[in-house]
Amino acid sequence: MARQSGGTFVLRIEDTDAARNKPEWVDGIISALAAIGINESDPTFEGPYFQSQNAERQREATERLFAEGHAYYCDCTREALKERTGSEHLGYDGFCRDRALEYAPGRALRFRTPDQGETVVTDLVRGTPTFPNNAIEDFVIARGDGSPVFLLANVVDDLDQRITHVIRGEEHLSNTPKQQLMWEALGARPPLWAHLPVIVNEKRQKLSKRRDKVALEDYLVEGYLPDAMANYLMLLGWGPGDDVEVRPYPELERMFRIEDVNTSPAFFDVKKLTAFNGEYIRALSPEAFVTACAPWLAAPYAPWRPDAFDQGVFEAVAPLAQTRLALLSEITSYVDFLFLDEPVHDEPSWNKAMKPGAAELLGDARATLADAAWEPEPLKAAMEAVAAGHGLKLGKAQAPVRVAVMGRTVGLPLFESLATLGRDRTLARLDHALGRLAGE
């Protein structure tokens, strides 16, 4: 929205609740936005600002609202309200409206909601939600110690920063008439609102940081590309309308229309995101793919000794891996056999491949491969001969060889892998597997 209109995207950290504000969380927000290209290098980006730094202006607003009759002080306790209404679940009954109380420690400041009329919200996603004013209680805008509550602080900050569009989750829609009434009481025209649909998990439950993985950084650490994340996030609640979903972000940015956002919940489909990521990985240039894999080829992700890694060897097999990865973090499991002294056998793969007859097949494979020219095609031809001798298709015959040499049933193409690993190391691993089978 900001880029389309030549406007400014404002990052404001609403930190007035000290218990819910920690420096590392702020750093996480800033780094996550930066990872998908929203940072100080973007001319449409501004911030971060901190709500706590505007406390004086917020306090001035509470004093003005009181002085102009839009707010009043209240000393009602929860117990007194329950005694008057007979329930602790009913809203405030307006008891202090006409008591003309002045400020004193412990007295909250309440907004005087109009008795008549209605508040109409202009929402770019939901039309014009309408709220009867007599259904909105006189809500607190400053605590008993004089500090403004979030609703008022938000309005003052928006006013000071000349916010024209407030785009946020639909759970805030119920706050909107209260905020709009305060905008009008402060003599300002309310912004345009856009309340986006909630995001739900596969059980159609609203995403929760207590239950679901919701931090962007966690996905990046798993090996999701920032461009893939941005592409997928753009499609939560909105679509380009032509069924082409994987496309460059600038193209999505040009096509986006806030009015086309859906009102129904958006399903965060991790499987679909992963498929997106695989497409983005395959679209990288070979050089960009090698660079993108670099973090996972070093500690703490890599399982091999640092001195065992050979960049040239990795670059030789990187194109083979690039067509197979869904996550960058998977790269270590595809190439670890090249840099470990011995492969780490995945036990389910071992048990699946090393069935009765596997020892005989491995013995014949070892003898035949030992005499083959050490290139992919001759190695393949040698294994085809072994397979034919055992009455097997090549895929079945090569499974025990793959597990013996590479450690698992899924990985890079076998014969290119053997050619890269080398004759001596390949034969040694076959011998090791034969020894294990003999022991078993």
The annotation status of 74 as a binding-site residue, yes or no, is yes
Catalytic residue chosen out of the listed positions 209, 213, 380, 393: 209
The answer to whether 98 is a known ligand-binding residue is: yes
C-beta of residue 226 within 8 angstroms of C-beta of residue 200 = no
Beta carbons within 8 Å of 113's beta carbon, 6+ residues apart:
133, 136, 137, 138, 139, 178, 181
Query: Can you give 115-133 as a three-state secondary structure string?
Result: CCCEEECCECCCECCEEEH
Determine if residue 209 is labeled as part of a ligand binding site.
yes
Is 355 labeled as ligand-binding? no
Q: Is 213 known to be catalytic?
A: no
Beta bridge pairs of residue 148: 142
List of residues 6+ apart from 102 with CB closer than 8 A: 73
Residues flagged as binding site: 74, 76, 96, 98, 209
Residues flagged as binding site for ATP: 209
Active-site amino acid positions: 209
